[in-house]
Amino acid sequence: MSTEQDLVQHLDQVNKVVEEYLKGNDPTRISKQLAIPRQQVVSLINEWKVMASANDAIRARAKEALVAADTHYSKLITKAYEVIEDATTSANLNAKSQGIKLVLDIESRRIDMLQKAGLLENKELAEEMVQIERKQEVLMNILKDVASEYPQVRDEIMRRLSSIARESEVVTVVHDV
């Protein structure tokens, strides 16, 4: 890097590559998207990892970016669950199936992003998280069915669920009339 402009261009290229990498894209895909040789993409990712681990400010920014991306994934998952709920209400099995696949895809991408950032140590933990999400969905469906069948317990179910829900979560129990 002979000039300041060369350094700025290089860092800009590193940022573009890392942005795609954190979205879950592999070096081959990044290479095609950005028209950069794959070997150079791998080199830029490794360079970024070294820079990030050696610089507290960059690590802090990376953590902020990961938190923002994780929050974004959570919002997308919430929206996907709304689609699933609407599809369930309208008995649209195709839309419900697509919604479930969408949740699994989003979760998979989020887990991949966190693994690449070094926040998840192994694949078993990631698979366990996906399994927990599936169990949570099954439990919510059971509660919704019970609330629909027995309206007298609906309010109690909602009260208890809302007491454990995170602030960003919306707990909805549909009462069929």
What's the rounded Cα separation, in Å, for the pair 140 and 116? 31
What's the rounded Cα separation, in Å, for the pair 77 and 75? 5
pLDDT top residue among 38 and 115? 38
Taking only the tens place, the pLDDT of each residue in 41-69 is 999 988 888 776 666 666 677 777 778 88
What's the rounded Cα separation, in Å, for the pair 129 and 74? 14
pLDDT top residue among 8 and 169? 8
Read off the amino acid at residue 155. D
**Helix residue ranges per DSSP H, 150-171:** 151-164
Over range 158-163, report the average pLDDT: 73
Domains of the chain are: 1-54 (1.10.10)
What's the rounded Cα separation, in Å, for the pair 167 and 115? 26
User: How many Å separate Cα 34 from the centre of its chain?
Assistant: 23
